[in-house]
Structure 1
Amino acid sequence: MIRFDGVSVSYEGTTVLSGVDFELPEGELCLVVGGTGAGKSTLLRAVNGLVPHFTGGTMTGRVLVDGRDTRTHPPRELADVVGVVGQDPIAGFVTDTVEEELAYSMESLAVPEAVMRKRVEETLDLLGLADLRDRTLSTLSGGQQQRVAIGAALTAHPRVLVLDEPTSALDPGAAEDVLAALHRLVHDLGMTVLIAEHRLERVAQYADSVLWVPGAAAPPVLGDPGQVLAEAPVAPPVVRLGQIAGWEPPPVSIRDARRKAGGLRERLAGVSGKSPEPVAGGVLLTATGVDVRHGATHAVRGVGLTVRAGERLVLMGRNGSGKSSLLWALQGTGKRAGGAVAVSGDDPAKLKPAARRSRIGLVPQRPSDLLYLHTVAAECAQADSESDKPQGTCRALLDRLAPGVADPVHPRDLSEGQRLALVLAIALTPAPDVLLLDEPTRGLDYPAKSRLAEVLGELADAGHAIVLATHDVEFVAETATRVAVMADGEIVTDGPAADVVTSSPVFAPQVAKVLAPLPLLTVADVTAELERV
């Protein structure tokens, strides 16, 4: 169904992909893995001809999709065969409401109206969007927008579906529903699905094969999920756990890992786990009775929070529960319908921008909104200047989060993960008293997330407070000291991270699921305990 023959892609002399040779049969779900900036998105865009017809650059070799050569068939001539969901869903929307967006691709393909109505209803039910059918797209949460984008691609009934980070903004339950739906389409209808994803712990168990993209230095490797992931530098925790335990072949699902974990659980019997570290710092952030409304939607309902210096508080909850609205209200530029917020004694909404940046910083879900200069070097220099920090401060942070990003590159030409790393570096430069992050791991591979966790830990140790909203349970296990779960605009649970995440199978990390009831959350925890026993 999809065939790459000797494909190489370069932009202005810089090679992005080299010597890509593989073939995917019909009815296969293939997971594309690789580090941030390795070329995964470029490979996906080549499937429907966006590379090079839209992106430009130079492509050698050929890509065949259902027998059609993308060199002679531009994207419009592949639209009936290939459906595409990009990293930034809202950038691909062309209508105003959910129902209109689901119908648009079918209108473009001249699908009869009666068929359109039927497919829209089926898709609304398949992805849990029925209650949102009349909502304006701009009022949806990031995760809701992502589900709409997936639905808009599915309604055209393509034979090939290409998805770039499809679960990055979805809560664990919604991600599982979407992936289960894709799994049914593959097995029941013979659809061929190509997924690039950094949250491998969510997708690996559904994959029939894995394509590892190591970057321009070497050609991609296609093979069995367990074998390829064991060799790749990026792999989900369950694979890494299997490696340190000596399990062959390495498991890629929780079920397979639990079947092999009996001996490991016996070796670790009696482990008490890490005790929550008491946070004795002074109070940096106080919120009392915070209310946020967006028209008729009551997004945040009387939320109260106290965050101390040294705390790393994570907000979790399903899409649309009010996490992003709460972060903007805390930061001061988001409108509050009621309540009070104080950061180091002052209401951030009443501070001037420069003073606010030194007190509280926010990295939004769409980090590119904060980038407005023409080169990476200019963005870093501006961040140093605005924060009154020595030149090179921001650049050093960027090198730590995403090594190898060149100074002359335009920020819009970076991969999603590299852009996020740049915005994180900009936000971290002034070292604000309180740092707010909204889905800070979208587009980041496992090594980059570990580096981010180290930076946040150092900030917390230096007396800063971190508040972040995320659906990334593995990052929560590695980073958080405290977790608050939101639902319908309210905080329903607030406590030590280990207690909150292990009390729910939805929020539990893979290691905790495999080794339950042992109180271990990460592969690093297991490694440390094995060295002691």
Structure 2
Amino acid sequence: MIRFENVTFFHAGAKRPVLREVELSVGEGELCLVTGRTGAGKSTLLGAVNGLVPRFTGGHLHGRVTVDGRDTAAFAPQEFAGLVGVVGQDPLAGFVTDTVEEELAYGMEQLALPPAVMRKRVEETLDLLGVAELRRRPLRTLSGGQQQRVAIGSVLTAHPKVLVLDEPTSALDPTAAEDVLAAIIRLVHDLGTTVLVAEHRVERVLQYADRLLHLDGEGRVHDGEPAAMIADSDIAPPVVRLARLAGWTPPPLSVRDARRRAASLRERLDGRTPPPPSTMDGEPKLAAKAVTVAYGKTVAVREVDLVLPAGQVTALMGRNGSGKSSLLWALQGSGKRHSGAVDVAGTDPAKVSAARARALVGLVPQTASDLLYLDTVDAECRQGDAESGVVQGTCRALLDDLAPGVPGDRHPRDLSEGQRLALVLAVQLGAAPGVVLLDEPTRGLDYQAKERFTAVVRRLAAEGRAVVVATHDVEFVAGAADRVVVMAEGEIVADGPTAEVVVASPAFAPQVAKILAPSPWLTVEQVAEALNP
């Protein structure tokens, strides 16, 4: 179905290729998981499948890419619309209509499908992805996860033979991610759809993959069976790293298989316990009382009370659309607040200037690049220092501390996800806020980048700040958070130490907790420390 023949790709002006002499053949009905570190070329590989690379990205592609016998060099990308469905990392950037129902129908309209067929497929897709109640909602009012499901649905309605997905579950809560993956797997098994999935949260997809394509960062693509490829890969989910620690060969790819082999490991851990959670009684940095956020008749946050102590990392979790982002914006002062009060050092951030609010509460939104608008990294740093009223060089020093080696003359949108996140965080931290709010900060980060980011978050807390991370990334929460607050329909439904909250929840429990339940182990690092004190 898909063939790469000696494919090499250079970005314009680049001396090193992103893809180097790639030879690849993907058959009909295969689900291939594409892995690799941030910036390794995964999105470039996916973009070459329908000719978006190099027609829209620029650069030079050597070799030949064919899909179902069609050469991508001989046909424009729009000629592949009915054959290849593509969902990029940023769903909102790909929307062309105003509402959910219109977006699901748009692709079929361009393919001139009969109205009766279109109506039937729209209804099927709404049910398949669990977004039927959103059909008339404006796309820009949806949460990031809801937008991601609509983006996937908009390409599924055309019934393409090939589906190319770039981080399709990055903004989805665990349950929604399982639902979307179940729908994709159904297409593979029942319709013979060929699927290429690039995903940093490998733990979500690995067990379903027929093949694994790993980009080594030098431009080469390594291809093989998932169990064999992942055994010594530097991109390994917790279940595989736990298998290495326990000496299980070949490594299990799912929690179910790992639990079957975990009896001896549980015996070795018998009598040992994870480190106790940090205390939750530090000096309050932020106190919110009865905060309510409403958009018309829709209540996004309902009378929420929340106290954030100094020195604590709080994970804010909940299904897509539960009100997490609305709460963060309300706490920062820039977002809409229907009623309630927020106190930060005796001041309500909503009642002071934007500059003063930034000095009280720093917020990094879901799409960090929304805060970047200048042409170079150095220009962003200088502007950040000016807006924060601090000595020039403060932001650059913070950036070098968070992500050393970022070129000052580089355009911010040419940075990797991790570097962009570090730049925005440095800009926000320049004002030295006592409260730091981060909305889905681990999207686009590989495991190694997340480890470094975890260290950054822990250090911010050690400096006496209160840190809140709104996230669906349960593995990140297991390693970084002291406390978990769970929201549902705008209300807080659970609040407590990380181990107590996530272990009690099948949806939010990390892989290690599921494998070693009922013991409250959360991370591979905790287990390793217990076995080798």
Shifted more, 30-39 versus 391-400: the winner is: 391-400
User: CA 1:516–1:332 in structure 2 vs 1: closer, same or farther (change >3 Å)?
Assistant: same
Distance 1:6 1:392 in 2: 46
Counterpart of 2:169 in 1: which secondary structure? coil
Structure 1 residue 391, shift from structure 2 partner: 5.0
Q: Would the aligned equivalents of 2:285 and 2:466 in 1 still touch at CA under 8 Å?
A: yes
Indicate yes or no: 2:427 matched with 1:420: no
State the aligned residue count: 531
Distance 1:29 1:415 in 2: 26
Q: Would the aligned equivalents of 1:271 and 1:519 in 2 still touch at CA under 8 Å?
A: no
Distance 2:523 2:368 in 1: 28
Once the two structures are superposed, the pairs formed by residues 93-112 of structure 1 within 5 Å of their partners are 93-112=95-114
User: CA 1:501–1:518 in structure 2 vs 1: closer, same or farther (change >3 Å)?
Assistant: same
Q: Deviations over 1:86-136 (max 9, x none)?
A: 101011001111111000000001111111111111100100011111111
Q: Would the aligned equivalents of 1:402 and 1:448 in 2 still touch at CA under 8 Å?
A: no
Match of 1:457 in 2: 458
Match of 2:56 in 1: 54
Distance 2:450 2:352 in 1: 32
Structure 1 residue 389, shift from structure 2 partner: 4.8
**Amino acid across the alignment from 2:442:** T
Match of 2:8 in 1: 8
Counterpart of 2:532 in 1: which secondary structure? helix
Q: What TM-score comes out, normalization by structure 2 length?
A: 0.97
Q: Would the aligned equivalents of 1:502 and 1:508 in 2 still touch at CA under 8 Å?
A: yes
Structure 1 residue 400, shift from structure 2 partner: 5.4
Q: Would the aligned equivalents of 1:400 and 1:451 in 2 still touch at CA under 8 Å?
A: no
Indicate yes or no: 2:355 matched with 1:367: no
Distance 1:162 1:241 in 2: 30
Distance 2:128 2:147 in 1: 15
Match 1:42 to one of 37, 41, 44: 44
**Amino acid across the alignment from 2:4:** F
Q: Would the aligned equivalents of 2:40 and 2:219 in 1 still touch at CA under 8 Å?
A: no
Q: Deviations over 1:265-315 (max 9, x none)?
A: 111112222211114421110100001011121000000001110111111
Q: Would the aligned equivalents of 2:41 and 2:219 in 1 still touch at CA under 8 Å?
A: no
Structure 1 residue 2, shift from structure 2 partner: 1.0
Once the two structures are superposed, the pairs formed by residues 105-504 of structure 1 within 5 Å of their partners are 105-215=107-217, 217-389=218-390, 391-399=392-400, 401-402=402-403, 405-504=406-505
Report the aligned-residue RMSD.
1.5
Once the two structures are superposed, the pairs formed by residues 12-91 of structure 1 within 5 Å of their partners are 12-14=12-14, 15-91=17-93
User: CA 1:155–1:411 in structure 2 vs 1: closer, same or farther (change >3 Å)?
Assistant: same
Structure 1 residue 412, shift from structure 2 partner: 2.2
Structure 1 residue 226, shift from structure 2 partner: 2.1
User: CA 1:396–1:221 in structure 2 vs 1: closer, same or farther (change >3 Å)?
Assistant: farther
User: CA 1:388–1:137 in structure 2 vs 1: closer, same or farther (change >3 Å)?
Assistant: same
What 5-or-longer segments of structure 1 have no aligned partner? Answer: none
Distance 2:355 2:227 in 1: 50
**Amino acid across the alignment from 2:7:** V
Percentage of pairs with the same residue? 66
Match of 2:524 in 1: 523
Q: Would the aligned equivalents of 2:372 and 2:412 in 1 still touch at CA under 8 Å?
A: yes
Counterpart of 1:468 in 2: which secondary structure? strand
Counterpart of 1:47 in 2: which secondary structure? coil
User: CA 1:35–1:388 in structure 2 vs 1: closer, same or farther (change >3 Å)?
Assistant: farther
Distance 2:237 2:156 in 1: 27
User: CA 1:25–1:400 in structure 2 vs 1: closer, same or farther (change >3 Å)?
Assistant: farther
Shifted more, 489-498 versus 271-280: the winner is: 271-280
Structure 1 residue 325, shift from structure 2 partner: 0.3
User: CA 1:405–1:251 in structure 2 vs 1: closer, same or farther (change >3 Å)?
Assistant: farther
Distance 1:122 1:318 in 2: 22
Distance 2:391 2:270 in 1: 51
User: CA 1:234–1:391 in structure 2 vs 1: closer, same or farther (change >3 Å)?
Assistant: farther
What 5-or-longer segments of structure 2 have no aligned partner? Answer: none
**Amino acid across the alignment from 2:195:** V
Q: Deviations over 1:155-188 (max 9, x none)?
A: 0000000011110111100000000110111111
Counterpart of 1:408 in 2: which secondary structure? coil
Q: What TM-score comes out, normalization by structure 1 length?
A: 0.97
Q: Would the aligned equivalents of 2:231 and 2:250 in 1 still touch at CA under 8 Å?
A: no
Q: Would the aligned equivalents of 2:510 and 2:522 in 1 still touch at CA under 8 Å?
A: yes
